[in-house]
Amino acid sequence: MSRINKKFYQLNKENQKAFIPFIMGGFPNIGYSKSLLNKLPGLGADIIEIGMPFTDPMADGKIIQDAGHEALKAGFKMNFLYEMIEGFRKIDKSTPIILMGYYNPIHKFGSENFIIKIKDLGVDGLIIVDLPPEEDNELCVFCLTHNLHFIRLLTPTSDNERLPTLLNNSSGFLYYVSVAGVTGTKVPVKQIVASEVDRIKRHTDLPVCVGFGIKTPQDAKAISTAADGVVVGSAIIETIQKGATDSEVSVFISELSKSIHFK
């Protein structure tokens, strides 16, 4: 059983939902992001999503775009991310890590080489925003070969006709984008999200996690009642951008976790 499958199995037994914080690799600098990554399990993270900075992040709103650009300006290289994950795995063998990014840098590295590299480091899943299922031969097939979860994004426009194509080769969990548009903009409406999650679940047994537009612990709590997990990214990044202290950032992340893990 993979770390991701094991995590959802454990959460389901405890009648709990997954808290999935997103951080940007190398933001605001490599030392800070390394330290924050190592803290996240203790702050209640069930699964950790790490963004790979990219020059043209078309699915990301201004907050995460700026974070990625700041990381790149600070000298971020993929080797820094590899070292972060390697260091994390020395102290935490069980918390799943997924990487989110865009295909261009992976293509440059070599798709299968990249999958082998991150799998060996202890990465559990991959979200690539700009590769539709029609392009599975570019990357997804190598995830299947090397037992790495390929996690799809589903959106409000993913209708029942499109769903079978999106579900094919998907594993780990599904990431439902709760609002149309880019990250960190509109606030999702719980009733609509619940209806969409129910619709998706009629087509798959995979857990459905919800992200985009979740700004507060109250938002996270509401969405957690409608989904198997909640992804929070822009709100965490924005807290750091606004100059919050390490302690304030930790408190905010902990409050998000507690709101999702309520009984």
Cα dihedral 25, 30, 36, 38 in deg (nearest 10): 90
pLDDT value for 191: 87
pLDDT at 184 exceeding the cut of 60: no
Annotated active-site residue 49? The verdict is yes
pLDDT value for 178: 83
State pLDDT tens for residues 60-81: 788 999 999 999 999 999 999 9
Among the listed residues 14, 46, 49, 219, the single catalytic one is 49
- pLDDT tier at 213 (50, 70, 90 boundaries)? confident
State pLDDT tens for residues 15-43: 999 999 999 999 999 999 999 999 999 99
Superfamily of the domain at 3-153+228-260: Aldolase class I (3.20.20.70)
Among the listed residues 14, 46, 56, 60, the single catalytic one is 60
Average pLDDT over residues 127-155: 96
Whole-structure pTM value: 0.95
Average pLDDT over residues 139-168: 96
- Residue 153 one-letter amino acid: L
